[in-house]
Structure 1
Amino acid sequence: MPACSSSRSGGRSTGTRSAIPQLSWREPQPAPIVLVSGPEEVCAERAIAGVRDYLRAEDASLEVSDIRADDYAAGTLLALTSPSLFGEPRLVRVLGVEKCSDAFLTEALSYLSHPQDGATVLLRHTGASVRGKKLLDAIRAGQGGGVEIACPALKRESDRFDFAAAEFSQARKRIAPGALRALVSAFADDLTELAAACQQLISDVAEDITEQTVVRYYGGRVETSAFTVADTAIAGRYGEALIALRHALASGADPVPLVAAIASKLRTMARVAGHREPSAALAARLGLKDWQVDRARRDLSGWTESTLGMAIQAAARADAEVKGGSRDSVFALERLVTVIATREPFAGASR
């Protein structure tokens, strides 16, 4: 079975060494024991469904049973995995392993020594507690002939971008980089909603997906995203930037991540500025994605070393002010947007 090559897509999030194959949640495969670990529920649900579909494609008579490890009746695991009269394959999905009862833990550990032929036992552990650690350690040590499908939290923007890009790639649907960026930033707080938005576009839109498509479907969310404020300000569209900022604040956006989004784009621009090597080579050297390098190079149009330095200093000041250094965080944001969009020092009175 193939090992997963990236911890973001399927590798385990802990530093513990494992003796069993590590599989991507996008390409799950069955084994006598399948451990689905980690907190990202969207990925875990995909992995669990993928294992079921894989087994069902091999034999349509697959028997699927669900039990809870935290509300476990003694003997259930062995009863569900034992061969039936007609020998159908069995899939037993066990949820709540991070809250498992002593009875389940004892029987599951015993089961690892003698897995039933034709049975796949899938264990879901969210990592929310250390409960069941002895069982996880035994599986990872190779007892039972298992595999692990890790589903670590996708917290960074680049992780969510990769997630969404893979959704469209897997569906063989083309989406413009700007449209993908707008979609990811619009659903930055909820991977479940981002996944649903991707699937809706894949299902509903026959042609290639553009930025206009994303705005048509999710305009309200896109308009108020932090990166819309950053993009319009950096592009020098002062009026649009102020309108986007006010829309974002009116919809409840927190000033701290707004400043963070702007500062992040400015820092990327500074890292890319002055380098002429190909995007892929520069991205690899700087630890960025190709699209981030390409976008930063476009953003740098009209900027100089002096104006970029001034904007970065303004972002640092605004960051301190929205984190408690000023009584008026809205004014701090407006001043930052003004400096960036006009590329000139702020001439207004301070507050």
Structure 2
Amino acid sequence: MSTNSEKTNLGRNKKKTSVKPKVNSLSILSNEALFNQLNDAILIVDKNFSITSVNSKTEKIFGKKKSLLINKNVSRFLIVGGNSKNQDVTNILKKIFASGKKSKEFKFKDCKITLSKNKFQSVNCSMTAIKNDSGKTEYAAIVLSVKEEKGSDKNKSSDFNFEIPGFIYRCANDKNWTMKFITDGCTSITGYRPADLIENKKISYNNIIHPDYRKLVSDKWKKVLKEKEYFEFEYPIISRKKELKWVWERGKGIFSEEGKVLYLEGFITDITERKNTETMLLLKNIVFESAISANSIADIKGRITNLNAAFLNLWGYKSKSENH
């Protein structure tokens, strides 16, 4: 027979193993090395409209430390809509949380954030649902981007202009990389809006990846998930306009206490310009190497008596055999 203490211990152990891990928003937001590079402020809000997570860009735009934003009601800091059509941000968030498995996305161009009592900053705003494994909305992401004032040079010297264009995501570990959350930066890179990609509404992210690289991306993820390492890879995508673009992705798996992969989270940025530069340098090197291999033979008076094909091609001439 078991003693009372043994029963108590068994009860405690049973309770411990039955607890499901709770994924409190995007854990990748804590990776400041990545998110210092984002142009946008990102706030994660729970069903009580309290701010649960922010990236470091939020601190910079608001001019407030993270500790002054966390656990505060988002309506204290955000005014949605123009001056004559202000909306309560909580009413919009209610629609997002009530959206069920459908993906709801709201965008507003005329918004303001409260910097101090009588000081405001104009921003563009988008709000998106963050769903759990069963498709229910547990959190909402608010993405804010600073609006440049017309005729103003204020932002030209700002560090916002020197940051890498990119987007963050949370996706399922499946063959489609089904997006659960994705920021607006995906539009400028892929040509698709977040709502097009979330739950594969119009296209899956896997179908954007160049066909020759889909297996490479998949194999790389399998390897890093097995080793619980970071994923880092460069690969081409095909944009909505059928343009070939190169991206760099850094991400990681989010695991349960039992070691099951819950999500993949990461950051993707456009490196097309860098890749094009590398290609041009490679071509220049090839030309340079060809120039080095060009040979000529001259007699003692310095008259050229023989040339190889590389030398002729270098100077734009043709051999006698090519002229016939």
| Richer in strand (by share) | 2
Both proteins in one fold, TM over 0.5? no
- Structure (1 or 2) with the larger CA radius of gyration: 2
* More helix per residue: 1
TM-score w.r.t. the length of structure 2 is 0.26
* Greater RCO (CA < 8 Å, at least 6 residues apart): 1
